[in-house]
A and B are shown apart, each in its own frame.
Chain A
Amino acid sequence: MSRIIHKGYFKEMFRQLMVIGIVSAGILMIGNLTSILQHLIQNAVMLMPSAEEMASPLKIYVYVAGVILTFAAFGWLNKRARCDFYHSIPVSRTQMFFSTVLAEVCWMFIGILAYSLVFVIRSIAFGAPFNYFLFLCVVVNMLIASVEVTAAVSLACAISGNRFVNIVAAVVILFMPRLLLSCLSWFSIINDPQLVPGAMSIFFDPSYNIIAVPYAFNAMYNVPVNYANGWAMLYTCAYTAGLIALGWLAFKKRRSEMAGQATTHPVIQAVIRISLGIPLLLVVSLLLIETEMEGFALFIAPVLVIISFVIYSLYELISTKSALKMAKAMPLFLVCIAVSAAYVFLPKLIGSGDRNAKLTADDIVGYTCLNYSEGDYFETMLLGSGFDSTYADVMLPEYTFTDAQSREIIAGAYHRESGYPMTVRIKRNSGHDITRILHFTDIEERTLEMLRDENEDYKAEAHSFPKGSRFYSCSDLSRSSSAELAKVFEEEFNALSDAEKDVITNSLLNYEGVGPNITLAGCIGAKNYRNDFDLTELTPKSLSMYLKKVNENSGKKALNTLGEIENWFNNGGEMREFSINISGKAEGYINSWNMVYSDFYDYSTKPEEYTKTPAQTDPDYLEIVSMLANAPLTDDVNDYVYVTVSGDMINVMGLLQGNIGSADGFSMAVKLTPEQISELNRLIPRLSRW
């Protein structure tokens, strides 16, 4: 070990990087602390954090801190005097390289782990649901990514000798290999739209390189990171090990006298230069593949070639400060053109095997439907890592359908180029699964859907009560009350028919969270889900319990708040905005309304009216407020109106000055007479101005 790590030198480098390490970790913490403060001030309920919420600050940190720490640690390589000093001391090149990388990585780890610790403590302290496994995956990914960034930038420093080339080389090393691979897969898909990039090869799957994914390729494939993919982690580890090995070799071979020079070898200089010339030429390749080279394409292609040539030449000029060297380098621009030409033809070769392949129903064991609507393959693979996934989203994509009719349809759709697109994983008799985007006719698509719904196992899974680690919350109840309520709800839910289950199960997209409801957040492995269920007369015990608990918790506060608003309406005062959500189950009342009152709205639209008291301006509002403020509380599941009142005090600019009641408002269930219900139905549609 001492042959690789020099203890004293490691201590020295660790110390030299201390300021940057602490400052960058401190900046990383600001996000955490801001979030804690926000929750403390607003007393808000913390939701289950998504993978991206966990990872986003770390991704920025890994890049920024990784680059800055490495440039600081290896900055001496660019200065002759400093280089001579470090190379004269009794530390071998191997020890020097690995001790430095270790010191950088230690600081990165300290930042990441400190952030992670605070993140977990924050979530526990606020009683938020938390997917520990997913968080562990995110942290492990970020630790690997931090080593990868460090390794890549260290390699860049080892092969270059001034800051400009350090930066350019780092960018090339970090992104160029993945850009080339991703473009190859992208262009292949254009040639053969049935191919799925993530399923072609791990080399074509952008999610297989953690640091290259978040920014560079998100736009190309809309690829979020699959943090729970163990193979991707291993791939990144292997890739990182390769970068470290290359960095070490380059550092070991590097001559001290190269400090200040562009690169340590003319071949490296040529590779970097060519790498810079290629990206824009790939756009030309894309134009050649996708268009007939007419009109705009015909104009833009030569422009791109010229810009590419300028970038190529400018790099040589800036890095070497020699016009002669720039002139000598110019002929090699042909290599860039050759590479871009290869990108026109190579994708055709890659797709040719697939295009010629035949698939019959007998070859197919079954298929797994990876997306149901407009989501693409990557989003489907990541269902659960974000926040917009239900339990069914998480569980059902893995279900394999093996019936003969489905297999016939799949085989028939193979190689079809138009129709309803669906990403499917086809299990074949050969044992080699393939994933393709197939195009189905309307009838085929509906038939497949019907066959899926007819499948008893699938149906049971789709309507089963969410399993796994679970966490309940109801918008107006405490955690413990929610958990108590959930037990009753689960019993009632399991006793319902599938159709009834569908009625009370909210789609995340349409869910507004109005009225009594219970939210169930949980996780299956690294995948998070969240289901929102309405509490209705279909689950009477749960609803009754809910109404009772809400009235106990906040019924009086809601009535007081409404009384206070009523008083304000009559007497006037500071500017206010408030909203009252009304829903419920009462004779003659089935709608759910959101009534909004805004002084600021009135003031800005009708300033002359604002001289009057609110009651004079809007007597209808006062009527509703008075009606609700004086209604009796109830937990009768067949005759209640559920009310949530919240409001703000504002200034003439419309800015918040304080809350009326609390930030989240107060809820209650009240009983209204049929006449009051009728009056409510008459007034509220007019008052729901927003």
Chain B
Amino acid sequence: MIKVTDLTMKFGSFKALDKLNCSIPDGCIYGMVGSNGAGKSTLMRLISGIYKPNEGSILIDGKNVYDNVDVKNRIVFVPDELFFLSGANLLRMAKLYSNIYRNFSYDRFKELINVFKLDPNKNIATFSKGMRRQAATILSLACRADYILFDETFDGLDPVMRNLVKNLLYDDVLERRATAVITSHSLRELEDTCDQLALLHKGGIIFESEIDNLKTSLFKVQVAFGDEYDRRKFEGFDVLSFSKQGSVSSLIVRGDREETAARINAMQPILFEMLPLSLEEVFVFEMDALGYEFSDVLKEEVLQ
């Protein structure tokens, strides 16, 4: 388990992370979303032991990460800006990884080479952007690390390859109980991949939840009653948003879906409908509830 406590990271006078807290349980895919400068990459570099925090701690199974060889042997990090030795091919890079990572598996490496259909003898410098990311994915997955950190994982990959990488990640999580931490600008990219999602904004996590929970605990209710009513009629419900047009009102309600439905039905509505929310809508209302303007937290590109 990755436990981040009161993590602060400064670059000169700029505070990239400010007393950030989060817990990433083992065996899950943990997504981090946020706009540029939110602190996603910084947090990834801190978790992978590249940066030393100014304050706070990052513990993996109770052990500090920074400069800890044993812990770092359980982590593999694929940054947004990839690194390969100059003039190296995949076999040379595999040699490098095998020299350094205790659990590097050549069998897995060969298997992944076949899956991605990359030429291991070809100079990586001649690869396209997407192929380079595939190469980095192959190398990282061959390390058989317990914690796989992907920064901007799907950047440059075509839809087929994205699905392939996602499936490979699922396999590792399911078969080896590995933990994947992935960041993205794109909320939709993470929506169908992650078990948990965190929203970073200005160096802090402002929202963190399991995706299933997120989607099922917040829903839209459209209801109409025969008599005149207002918001007060729904006292006792956790209403995040209320609007009324004529006799029909729309509510965003947090709570147990069935219990809420039963309670509303008991109020004998003349119209009642419960609609699921998209992840984007969930975020809009959660942010609103927390007092953030959604467009400030997640810029337009995040929603694409």
Residues of A participating in the B interface, judged by any CB pair closer than 8 Å:
6, 8-9, 11-12, 15-16, 80-85, 87-93, 95, 252, 255-257
Contacts and interface: CB of A to CB of B under 8 A. Distances in A.
A95 B100 contact: no
Given A84-B83, A90-B72, A92-B67, A9 B99 contact: yes
B102 interface: yes
B83 A90 contact: no
19 contacts: A6-B100, A11-B99, A12-B96, A16-B85, A81-B83, A82-B83, A84-B83, A85-B83, A87-B50, A88-B72, A88-B76, A88-B79, A89-B101, A91-B72, A95-B69, A252-B67, A255-B52, A256-B51, A257-B51
B125 interface: no
Nearest to B72: A90
B49 interface: yes
B45 A256 contact: yes
A8 B98 CA distance: 8
A60 B11 CA distance: 41
A90 B79 contact: no
B8 interface: no
A8 B49 contact: no
B101 A93 contact: no
B85 A9 contact: no
Contacts of A95: 69
Contacts of B259: none
A14 to B, nearest CB: 10
B45 A80 contact: no
- Interface residue SS majority, chain A: helix
B81 interface: yes
B100 A91 contact: yes
A32 to B, nearest CB: 30
B82 interface: yes
A84 B100 contact: no
Contact of B77 (A11, A88, A252): A88
Contacts of B36: none
B57 interface: no
Interface centre among B45, B69, B85, B102 (most CB of A within 10 A): B69
B73 interface: yes
Interface centre among A9, A81, A252 (most CB of B within 10 A): A81
Nearest to B47: A88
A90 B98 CA distance: 11
B48 interface: yes
Nearest to B74: A90
Nearest to A76: B83
Contacts of B73: 90
Interface string B68-96: 11101101110101110100000000011
B51 A81 contact: no
A85 B49 CA distance: 10
Nearest to B145: A90
A286 B83 CA distance: 52
A252 B83 CA distance: 22
B96 A84 contact: no
B72 A80 contact: no
Contacts of B77: 84, 88
Contacts of B72: 88-91
Nearest to A19: B87
Contacts of A8: 98-100
A257 B50 CA distance: 9
Given A88-B76, A90-B72, 17 more contacts: A6-B69, A6-B100, A12-B96, A12-B99, A80-B81, A82-B83, A84-B79, A84-B81, A85-B79, A87-B49, A88-B49, A89-B101, A90-B75, A90-B100, A90-B102, A256-B50, A257-B51
Interface centre among B51, B70, B96 (most CB of A within 10 A): B96
B83 to A, nearest CB: 4
Nearest to A253: B52
A6 B101 CA distance: 11
B100 A9 contact: yes
Contacts of A87: 49-50
B48 A88 contact: yes
Interface in B85-124: 85, 95-96, 98-102
A6 B102 CA distance: 12
Interface centre among A9, A92, A252 (most CB of B within 10 A): A92
A81 B99 contact: no
Contacts of A255: 51-52
Contacts of A81: 79, 81-83
Nearest to A93: B67
Nearest to B42: A257
A87 B44 CA distance: 13
B69 A92 contact: yes
A22 to B, nearest CB: 16
Contacts of A252: 67
Nearest to B41: A84
Contacts of A82: 83
A564 B241 CA distance: 120
A264 to B, nearest CB: 13
Nearest to B83: A85
Contact of A89 (B11, B70, B100): B100
Contacts of B98: 8
B69 A90 contact: yes
Contacts of B75: 88, 90
A92 B68 CA distance: 7
A87 B69 CA distance: 11
Interface string B246-276: 0000000000000000000000000000000
Nearest to A83: B50
Given A8-B99, A9-B99, A257-B11, A88 B50 contact: yes
A610 B188 CA distance: 99
B156 to A, nearest CB: 15
Interface centre among A15, A16, A84 (most CB of B within 10 A): A84
A540 B137 CA distance: 89
